[in-house]
Amino acid sequence: MTVGLQVDNLRYRYGAKEALKGVSFTLEAGAFGALLGPNGAGKSTLYGLLTRLFTTSEGRIEIAGHDLKAQPRAALARMGVVFQNQTLDLDLSVRQNLSYFASLHGLSGRDAATRIDAALDRLNMRERAGEKARALNGGHRRRTEIARALIHQPDVLLLDEPTVGLDAAARRSITDHVHQLCAEDGLTVLWATHLTDEVHDPDRLIVIHQGEKLADGHAGDLRGGADLSDYFLSLTGAQA
């Protein structure tokens, strides 16, 4: 199997508090990994490490075959990120936002323009490209951020609670959209959430709680006959 994303014995502490206590998991290329955990489980710390906002000396991260510590730039080039907080420039147009990001990845001129058009088409937003990001609703802003994260055609897409603040319909649509991207384009996805209804049965499910991995397997297998949310509560409740 080709490895999309590998996390090996990752530890991180904020002063005395241990936020990650040796977390390991491997996602094969093209897998949809749902990282499920209650608030404060260590998801955001894990994303901080995965996106190299900060580093740790304990543990190892590999993105599409590139060690994040040894080859940070090669690893970052293979990675697309959707942050929890929205990161669009609201006063800039949708196209300007996409074009700024493309340039950060060294894409310019015709190549960038073609990719941006393709991204806009995928969103059905070509005609709104000139509008300011501020004019978009929450769901469309998120879709734009997802499209932006894919402009440089990464192998791995990381999303940190991407549905926060969206209404039920937008949440469903974004969740389905990313599942579809994963299935159709062979993208490796790591989707952090605390909402069990965003996890589909065939998804790889990784449950973390208080900095430790509690479960790892296919969501359908793990929950057995039970409801996923009951399973999740019993798992994290027992440990609390």
Residue placing its CB nearer to other proteins in the complex, 26 or 56: 56
Residue 86, SS3? coil
Which of 2, 53, 135, 234 binds other proteins (CB under 8 A)? It is 53
For residue 58, the minimal CB distance to other proteins (Å) is 12
Instruction: List, in order, residues 6 or more apart from 113 with CB less than 8 Å away.
Output: none
Among the candidate windows 2-10, 46-54, 165-173, 212-220, which touches other proteins by CB under 8 A? 46-54
Sites for other proteins among residues 90-119 (CB under 8 A): 91-92, 96, 99-101, 103-109
Nearest to 208 by CA among 31, 43, 26, 11: 43
Does residue 44 belong to the site contacting other proteins (CB under 8 A)? yes
Sites for other proteins among residues 65-84 (CB under 8 A): 72-74, 76-77, 79, 81, 83
Sites for other proteins among residues 5-34 (CB under 8 A): 14, 19
Sites for other proteins among residues 128-157 (CB under 8 A): none
Q: Are 29 and 1 in contact (CB under 8 A)?
A: yes
Residue placing its CB nearer to other proteins in the complex, 30 or 48: 48
Length of the chain: 240
Nearest to 128 by CA among 140, 139, 138: 140
Does residue 45 belong to the site contacting other proteins (CB under 8 A)? yes
Residue 45, SS3? helix
Instruction: List, in order, residues 6 or more apart from 111 with CB less than 8 Å away.
Output: none
On the CB side of 111, how many CA atoms lie within 13 Å of its CA? 9
Residue placing its CB nearer to other proteins in the complex, 81 or 222: 81
Residues of this chain that interact with other proteins (CB under 8 A) are 14, 19, 44-45, 47-48, 51-55, 72-74, 76-77, 79, 81, 83, 85-87, 89, 91-92, 96, 99-101, 103-109
